[in-house]
Each structure stands twice: as structure tokens, then as C-alpha cells.
Amino acid sequence: GAVVSQHPSRVICKSGTSVKIECRSLDFQATTMFWYRQFPKQSLMLMATSNEGSKATYEQGVEKDKFLINHASLTLSTLTVTSAHPEDSSFYICSARDLLSWDEQFFGPGTRLTVL
């Protein structure tokens, strides 16, 4: 089956620093990737939709200048949390949609971000 990887799986950083999270589709091409945030014991909230070669579409209430998304190729999207603060600590999950399979999204294993 389709595999999506995320790196790193866990990161701890100091307040004020920036953190980059990578999302890769390993065995398929993904024109669209999605970034979600999940707080403890809560559901996934969509942050933004990342389209290869174009600007990301952000959900209402998500600061585009704080959460920078780059989707430079059909297999890689990156999320950079800029000037991270403790309230940004969360579980960040990406998903990718196969170019050939419109309905199904394949999820990465997630990245646990802790901002001290």
C-alpha cells in the first residue's frame, strides 16, 4: 500500500526557534498534501492544503506566515513552524492524495512537537 513518511518523528525546541517537518510520499506521486494538527485527546484539525507548484491554501484561523508550507515536488511537502511558542506544541500529521486515487488520503505517522 501507499506509504507516507514524516521526519522528524519527534522534536523538542526552544521558544522562538523555527522547526521544519518533512512529509514524503514514498511510492506514489501526490499533487496534493494536507497538514493537520492534533492536540491531546482531540481530533485532527486541517491546517492547510498543499498543492505541488502553487501556494498552499490555509484554513480559517491558521496564520500562513507562522506555518510556512512548501510543496516543491510531487513527493515532498514541508511545514515550517516559525518562531515557535509553547502553545504550538502539538502532534502534526500530514496526508497525501495519490494522483490516481482521488478519494483516499494516506497519512504519515505524525511529528510530535514540544516547544519549551
Partner 1 sequence: SQQGEEDPQALSIQEGENATMNCSYKTSINNLQWYRQNSGRGLVHLILIRSNEREKHSGRLRVTLDTSKKSSSLLITASRAADTASYFCATVRAAGNKLTFGGGTRVLVKP
Binding segment for partner 1 (CB under 8 A), chosen from 12-20, 40-48, 72-80, 81-89, is 40-48
Number of shown-chain residues binding partner 1 (CB under 8 A): 25
Residues 44-63 close enough to bind partner 1 by CB under 8 A? 44-46, 49
DSSP 60-98: TT--TTTEEEEEEETTEEEEEE-S--GGG-EEEEEEEE-
76 near partner 1 (CB under 8 A):
no
Strand partners, 69: 79
CA geometry: angle 43, 2, 32, nearest 5 deg: 65
Under the criterion CB under 8 A, does residue 11 sit at the interface with partner 1? no
What are the distances in angstroms from CA 97 to CA 47, 55, 93, 106, 115?
A: 16, 17, 14, 6, 30
From 58, 77, 95, 113, residue interacting with partner 1 (rule: CB under 8 A)? 95
Binding to partner 1 by residue 7, rule CB under 8 A? no
Map grid coordinates 522534536 to a residue: 11
69 in contact with partner 1 (CB under 8 A):
no
- Give the footprint of partner 1 on this chain (CB under 8 A): 4, 6, 32, 34, 41-46, 49, 91, 93, 95, 97, 102-110, 112
